[in-house]
Structure 1
Amino acid sequence: MIATPFLDLLHLAWPELFLDITALVVVALDLLVLRRRSVALRFSFAAAFTALGCAIAIIAILTRPIDGGVFGGILVGSPLIRTVQVLILLVTIACALISTRSDFTEHVGEFFLLLLLATEGALTLVATTDLLVIFVSLELLSLSLYAMAAADKRSKRAAEAGLKYFLFGGMSAAFLLFGFSLLYGATGSTSLPVIASSLHTLTPLVAIAIVMTAIGFGFKVAAAPLHFWAPDVYQSAPAPAAAFIASVSKIASFFVFFELLHAALGPVAGSAAWGHFGAGWSPVIAVLAACSMVLGNLTALVQTSVRRLLAYSAIAHAGYMLVAMIAGTPESLAALLYYVFTYALTTVGIFALVAIVERNVGSDSLSSFNGLVRRAPFLAICLFIFFLSLAGIPPLSGFFAKFFLFTAALASPGGLGLLWLVILAIAMSAVSLFYYLQVLKRAFVTPAEEGAPEFEVPWFTQAVIGVLALLTLLFGCAPNLLLSWFEHMM
């Protein structure tokens, strides 16, 4: 009888244990067997082994389902949690595979160790209902990301970006922990369900906790005005690390933020409805969403670096996704998962393309994409799909992601009061079309310099990018493949 909770804990932590074993094996083989081989070969091997470990973890999740929690919600299993964990592992596989020809560091095993530890932190983050475990797993994810961002020791900009990311991250962690401590002080528990049952009115203590928590998570999802780290990190971090930061960490952070707001702070939500604003966390999130959409899209208009453009685009998309937080219905959660997963696939594909352009041209500036359709036709077509999806053009997945999210927000109780946020989001989406088309204009209309050679692109990298572009198109043409799955798991 005593061993049963520990066995359940072991079963729930099975995917994380597979990742730990994979990380140790990758580091050991890289240090002991492959150290004298070429960096490209070591990256290819480590990426393949990492993908294999993540695939085994997915099998473990799907074949050993356990529902319920252990030790008061330290780890929890449910169909929805398993679904989110599978999404995280799938995107991690994509991030690993786009790094097969990288050469930004000689510490290959250590880099993939960090990637797997970050993934483990993300898996634990979405599978707990305890504030302390949320904080610890979030810090495991964050600390790994700080090191990954500065993995290229030959680049001063990468070191600067990693340091800035670390300093802002440490500050946001302090805010988050302070908010969690106030919630514990107000309710006497770190369990999300117990916190919800103990909160009845919005006291000053709870109000401060809400603001502190919003600051902490606002940094994690790169919401304005807590976004200052994002442009430098997106521009200077190695492409696989930047892709991971822009995708996997977003899936985990948005999901746990949604669960925290509604599973623990639901009784003090307040209202963000136009003309009927009520004190609570809803107006705070609405302000973050509006600031993110406006600042992200308008600042992206003047960017000349595609990486920085993607950073400000990510800030804008964070604003769109925060609208789902306010709606707070099962439909809005399903729409949020559809949005963040398809956005993650698209972003990983774009960073893989940017890495290829940088390898061949030496820069990520807009001019580096001149004549891409003649120098690498297949990549140009994939770039076309990715950017139009981010812009929300049908029939690509980005269009349906916004459509489902906005309609879910309007269909929520009092949803017409959120019409102001939806109108702002649609207007800002129209603005975003301009800067996305600027990149596509360079690729398809502006000619390359005379005598510019064709790009050298490994076939495997092209295959990974092609699969990501195909999924972006598939989930747009058949959105119910994902959405019905998410709704069924609620």
Structure 2
Amino acid sequence: MGAITIFSYNWSYLLPEFTVLGFATVLSLLDLFLGKHVKRSLIGWLSLIGILLAGYFVIHNVMTVKDPVSYMADMFRVDHFGNAFKLIFLGGMAFTLLLSLANNRDNDEVSHQSEYYYLLLTGLLGAMVMASSADMITLFVGLELLSLSSYVLVGLRKQSIQSNESAMKYVVSGGIATAVTLFGMSYLYGLTGATNLFEISQRVTEAYSSGYSFLVILSFVFIVAGLAFKISVVPNHLWTPDVYQGAPTPVTAFLAVVSKAAGFALVFRFLFTAYIGLVGPNGERVFMSEMSWYLSIIAGLSMIIGNTMALRQTNVKRMMAYSGVAQAGYLLVPFVTLTQLFFEQSLFYLFAYLLVSFGAFAVIMIVTKDQKTEDIKAFAGLYHRAPFVAIAMTFFLLSLAGIPISAGFFGKFYLFMSAIFHSSYVLSGIMIATSVISYFYYFGFIRQMYMRPGLTEAKLKVPGTAGVVIVIAVLATIVFGIVPGVALDFLHTHFNPNFDFGGMQMPSK
């Protein structure tokens, strides 16, 4: 690519990525010149300013970009899909930074705070690249940028054996998942001779009809198996409880929401662009006839295993890890049903999950630091020590369980209705049964907070930035649980509900 070609692009649409990259670079250099007496929380606050500025640029793109803007031979795209996920990433990162500022103020967990903050920014940049990539090369670069940053963040508590063990398990599991993903990509490249997803979508039908149908399906299976690691679903979910337990709580929240949302963005972009238009010799849609059942099995097993394993946990972070596996299983349901509203349904569920996850992890961080234990018994008597915190946690748990008057209820309701509409009665039954199972461990928190005496009656101190996260999360959870149409109307208006992932319209059934 020559200099003339580079300068011919209108790079202003990439200001969100440039902003995050610029702040990560400048803050890493600024850290070298700051004296030891300067608190590194300054880096955290400056990072938050960068996130807000990047958010402004994304919103500007949402309001101004009507048709996709392509860069570098369509390797990178600015479109409705990418902008929607970037808003989720940036919102999650803002919450992560607020929790981090509260968690790191005593300097007892993470000693290298400057590195901590700009590693979060580089991880965010990787997620944003994944959301806008339309080529296997740039997708993989974004995936690895997010993954490498996450590996280091998990192991930043260098004095903690548990943290070191979690980081090692994360690196090994991530390396295996990366190898499996690349193996699937290599098959896809060999079959089509292209790395661009839109070129692949045009050539994969020819490969399928030319006697290579088994290899096309095999590439899909390997890619999904590798990406299952990033969204923490069966069969690549076993790393989740150990990593969630060993990482600092804000990093756990980051992995549970931002990293998982980035994984789903990759699944959206990759699978639906490359495979959704695949047509068999008889004109049948191969994705619906031969591929969706694979996703159905993963979704069902994730819901069952995630919820049943959560029943056995007493460590709250491990419990939330298995809950996250189950939630990812729920999120795979619209990928199987593929109704016209699947994009809106998925985004609404991710938005609701972002709110309740960060709110719940904020409460978990405050309580476990105060009680010096991550056992669920740390929540005993919380209502008497901090009534608002206990009530907020109750709403977060109700939303995760899918109880009415919460955003999570409508998120699950829309997914359930899409499964019914698609006649996926087995998935519908699993959703209902596993949701009932989840009540047992979610209500375990409530039993401890309201019905068990605590070791102390002293008022619980809530750090200001963590309190902001809790207030925003609980208010939004209640509001969108009462009027979910507001969020859905916003998605319908500003993000093309008929987004076709490269010219292939979504089937209605």
Q: Which residue of 1 aligns with 2:69?
A: 68
Report the residue type matching 1:432 in the other structure: S
Q: Which residue of 1 aligns with 2:485?
A: 480
Residue correspondence of structure 1 range 182-193 to structure 2 within 5 A: 182-193=187-198
Q: Which residue of 2 aligns with 1:444?
A: 450
- Looking at structure 2, the residues matched to 58 and 8 of structure 1 have their Cα atoms a distance apart, in angstroms, of 22
Is 2:412 aligned against 1:407?
Answer: no
Which deviations, in whole Å up to 9, do the C-alpha atoms of 1:50-106 show, x marking residues without a partner? 111011111222335453212232110112321221221111111111111223112
Give the TM-score taking structure 1 as reference length. Answer: 0.93
Residue number among 307, 312, 324 corresponding to 1:302 in the alignment: 312
Deviation at residue 140 of structure 1 after TM alignment:
0.6
- Looking at structure 1, the residues matched to 246 and 319 of structure 2 have their Cα atoms a distance apart, in angstroms, of 13
Q: Which residue of 2 aligns with 1:256?
A: 266
- Looking at structure 2, the residues matched to 2 and 330 of structure 1 have their Cα atoms a distance apart, in angstroms, of 42
| Partners of 2:356 and 2:474 within 8 A in 1 | yes
Unaligned runs of 5+ in 1: 271-275
Q: Which residue of 2 aligns with 1:25?
A: 26
Residue number among 331, 339, 342 corresponding to 1:321 in the alignment: 331
In 2 relative to 1, CA 470–4 (structure 1 residues): closer, same or farther, beyond 3 Å? farther
Deviation at residue 246 of structure 1 after TM alignment:
0.4
- Looking at structure 2, the residues matched to 357 and 155 of structure 1 have their Cα atoms a distance apart, in angstroms, of 20
- Looking at structure 1, the residues matched to 122 and 287 of structure 2 have their Cα atoms a distance apart, in angstroms, of 41
Deviation at residue 256 of structure 1 after TM alignment:
2.1
| Partners of 2:231 and 2:261 within 8 A in 1 | no
Q: Which residue of 2 aligns with 1:428?
A: 434
- Looking at structure 1, the residues matched to 160 and 140 of structure 2 have their Cα atoms a distance apart, in angstroms, of 31
Is 2:398 aligned against 1:385?
Answer: no
Unaligned runs of 5+ in 2: 281-285, 497-509
Residue number among 113, 120, 128 corresponding to 1:115 in the alignment: 120
Q: Which residue of 2 aligns with 1:93?
A: 94
- Looking at structure 1, the residues matched to 461 and 58 of structure 2 have their Cα atoms a distance apart, in angstroms, of 38
Q: Which sits farther off after the overlay, 394-403 or 192-201?
A: 192-201
Deviation at residue 144 of structure 1 after TM alignment:
0.6
Report the residue type matching 1:91 in the other structure: G
- Looking at structure 2, the residues matched to 94 and 49 of structure 1 have their Cα atoms a distance apart, in angstroms, of 14
Residue number among 107, 126, 132 corresponding to 2:131 in the alignment: 126
Report the residue type matching 1:437 in the other structure: F
Q: Which residue of 1 aligns with 2:237?
A: 227
Q: Secondary structure of the residue that 2:350 maps to in structure 1?
A: helix
Report the residue type matching 1:46 in the other structure: I
- Looking at structure 2, the residues matched to 157 and 268 of structure 1 have their Cα atoms a distance apart, in angstroms, of 46
Report the residue type matching 1:477 in the other structure: I
In 2 relative to 1, CA 210–68 (structure 1 residues): closer, same or farther, beyond 3 Å? same
Q: Which residue of 1 aligns with 2:40?
A: 42
Task: Report sequence identity in percent.
Answer: 33
Report the residue type matching 2:322 in the other structure: Y
Residue number among 194, 198, 220 corresponding to 1:210 in the alignment: 220
Residue correspondence of structure 1 range 5-20 to structure 2 within 5 A: 6-8=7-9, 10-20=11-21
| Partners of 2:47 and 2:118 within 8 A in 1 | no
Deviation at residue 255 of structure 1 after TM alignment:
2.1
| Partners of 1:375 and 1:454 within 8 A in 2 | yes
- Looking at structure 1, the residues matched to 276 and 229 of structure 2 have their Cα atoms a distance apart, in angstroms, of 21
- RMSD across aligned C-alpha pairs, in angstroms? 2.0
Residue correspondence of structure 1 range 277-292 to structure 2 within 5 A: 280-292=290-302
Q: Which residue of 1 aligns with 2:502?
A: none
Q: Which residue of 2 aligns with 1:273?
A: none
Q: Secondary structure of the residue that 1:69 maps to in structure 2?
A: strand
Report the residue type matching 2:175 in the other structure: G
Residue number among 358, 367, 371 corresponding to 1:361 in the alignment: 371
Report the residue type matching 1:261 in the other structure: L
Q: Which sits farther off after the overlay, 81-90 or 235-244?
A: 81-90
Deviation at residue 259 of structure 1 after TM alignment:
2.5
Aligned length: 476
| Partners of 2:358 and 2:469 within 8 A in 1 | no
In 2 relative to 1, CA 452–35 (structure 1 residues): closer, same or farther, beyond 3 Å? same
Q: Secondary structure of the residue that 1:356 maps to in structure 2?
A: helix
Q: Which sits farther off after the overlay, 427-436 or 102-111?
A: 102-111
Deviation at residue 406 of structure 1 after TM alignment:
2.0
| Partners of 2:155 and 2:247 within 8 A in 1 | yes
Residue number among 140, 148, 153 corresponding to 2:153 in the alignment: 148
Q: Which residue of 1 aligns with 2:504?
A: none
Is 2:237 aligned against 1:240?
Answer: no
- Looking at structure 2, the residues matched to 305 and 395 of structure 1 have their Cα atoms a distance apart, in angstroms, of 28
Report the residue type matching 2:295 in the other structure: I
